[in-house]
Amino acid sequence: MGANNTPVTIPSTGTPVVTSTIVIAGAGTSILDVNALTNITHTFNSDLDVTLTSPAGTVVTLTTDNGSSFDNVFNGTTWDDDADPDTQVPYTANQNEVTEHTYVDLTPVPTLLPEEPLGAFIGENPNGTWTLTISDDAGGDGGAFTWGLTITTAMCAVVQGCQVICPPAQNVTATSPTGAVVNYPAPTTTGNCGVVTCAPASGTLFPVGTTNVTCTEIASSTTTTTTYSSGNVAVPIPATGTSGMMTPQTITVPDAGTVTDVNLGIRLDHTFDADLEITLVAPNGTTSVLVMDDNGSGGDNLGSGSADCAGTKTVFDQQAQTSIADGTAPFDGSFIPLNSLATFNGTPAAGTWTLRINDDAGGDVGTLFCWELQITRNASVAGATCTFPVTVSIPFDGCCVDDASGDTFRSVVAGATPGSALYGFWEYHVAATGETFTGTANYIAYRPGLSLVMRDTDDVHVAMYAQIDYIRKTCLVQVTDRTTGRTFTLRDRNTANSTCGAPQM
């Protein structure tokens, strides 16, 4: 423990920032926990910004402009990360947090959770000079303060929380107009880390331009099973043809996570089960499973009992013992679906799931009374993160600028191997409209460092002709937008400008 009981004045005018120090000596060398005590007498406490700085230079903010117009609310306050052991559900104003406490004039708050965690000091050496800094950022009110520290150290070094360290910025040359496949180094970690994943992943196609990659530690994951119900409904299942398709029914799952198992329960009445085709569609709209197709022969109904969610359902479960093809109506109990529900594994659980039922024969009708989804999902909790940029650039060899209009023409020849996707690739930017036309020349006559003639006549949307003289630094480019009939012409004959310099070999 340490204390500085010499009062320091917080002036209402003049220098707005004051400090006080405590020197800790002879303590252990690895911090496990820090609590701070402030005895601040001050009128109008929301004028105050209070920070604590460790000997290592780490700064933690205790409070910034809290306490409203009230006086002396931090006079005897202990700042403690453990002041808020629980969060209320449903959420209401949290009396343990300095930013949300309901203050009363001249009533000190015994314990508060600071704005920033004192856990930032964990693992540091506590020995040395600690500094409490108070800034009064408004005039007209003043006061004074004393303060103290309680520091708990560990017998052995404390491992800091996980830190994810990203690789440096990646700069890559495009391999085609669409971009390049970028393989970047894996991030490194310090501390106690879980699995780290990056998105976009290494080895994927990155577009031309700059893409930020975020690497995230999966600090923990939990597996949760939840049942989601349509509730009691009465949806007609009409007979035969296009009219035999029941109005698609949906259940919206609000919970995030990755699907590891799905079971589908259905209670419906129908007078000829072999007419029915039943499909479940995932929220992504593309992943679907046909669970039943013309099974049950002339038997009636799926499930039995009351015509609502309380009735016995037919449950399609990949872990069941009997296939739906081998079961008999009304299929009370659990059955293996016609196609595997494991198709949904790995897809996001959250979103709108859709049930489709089609009656593909005439003469029989039915009613859907209830359907349910039992979804097991793996919900991951993100931990430490880092971000780095991946920049993919097209290796343009030359650039011609029309001094009058501001149009720009760029091309790739020497920077790409003949026959590659970038060989002869060009772009023409129209300054007046902000449009950019692109293509790949189907004719190239090139003398390195001297001149270039390019034509692009294959594209049904655009035609281009370019003639560039690198020695004289002159350009003549014409681009025609075949869709609209507009033609753009670039002529740069200013021998003083170097924008049409020799290509980069």
Q: Over the Cα atoms of the chain, what is R_g?
A: 35
Q: How far apart are CA 397 and CA 339, in angstroms?
A: 55
Query: Is 60 exceeded by the pLDDT of residue 72?
Result: yes
CATH topology of domain 227-377: Jelly Rolls (2.60.120)
Instruction: Tell me the mean pLDDT in the region 343-366.
Output: 89
Residue 43 three-state SS: coil
Instruction: Tell me the mean pLDDT in the region 149-153.
Output: 95
The CA-based angle 58-59-62, given to 5 degrees, is 145
Query: Is 60 exceeded by the pLDDT of residue 59?
Result: yes
Write down the pTM of the prediction. 0.47
Q: What percent of the chain has pLDDT over 90?
A: 65
Give the model's pLDDT for residue 505.
40
pLDDT tens per residue across span 414-458: 888 888 999 999 999 999 999 999 999 999 998 887 889 999 999
Q: How far apart are CA 399 and CA 407, in angstroms?
A: 10
Give strand pairing partners of 488: 479
* Of 217 and 316, more confident: 316
Residue 185, Cβ density class (10 Å: 0-12 exposed, 13-18 middle, ≥19 buried): exposed
For residue 312, the one-letter residue type is T
Confidence of residue 241 (pLDDT cuts 50, 70, 90): low
Give strand pairing partners of 170: 390
Instruction: Output the average pLDDT for the chain.
Output: 89
Confidence of residue 497 (pLDDT cuts 50, 70, 90): low
Residue written as token pair 């099973």: 225
Q: How far apart are CA 454 and CA 93, in angstroms?
A: 69
* Of 194 and 61, more confident: 61
Tell me if 26 sits within 8 A of 127, measured CB to CB.
Answer: yes
Q: What percent of the chain has pLDDT over 70?
A: 93
Give the model's pLDDT for residue 90.
56
Residue written as token pair 């109990």: 333
pLDDT tens per residue across span 389-420: 999 999 888 788 887 788 899 999 888 888 89
Give the model's pLDDT for residue 243.
56
Instruction: Decide which of 2.60.120.260, 2.60.120.10, 3.40.50.150, 2.60.40.1260 is the CATH code for 2-153.
Output: 2.60.120.260
Give the model's pLDDT for residue 341.
93
Residue 307, Cβ density class (10 Å: 0-12 exposed, 13-18 middle, ≥19 buried): middle
Distances (CA, A) of 406 to 399, 400, 489: 12, 10, 11
Tell me if 153 sits within 8 A of 29, measured CB to CB.
Answer: yes
pLDDT tens per residue across span 108-142: 999 999 999 999 999 899 999 999 999 988 878 88
Give the model's pLDDT for residue 92.
62
Query: Is 60 exceeded by the pLDDT of residue 461?
Result: yes
Residue 230 three-state SS: coil
Tell me if 219 sits within 8 A of 194, measured CB to CB.
Answer: yes
Residue 3 three-state SS: strand
Instruction: List the one residue out of 296, 331, 301 whose CA is nearest residue 316.
Output: 331
Question: Can you point out the beta strands (E) in 402-457?
Answer: 408-411, 425-429, 436-440, 443-447, 451-456
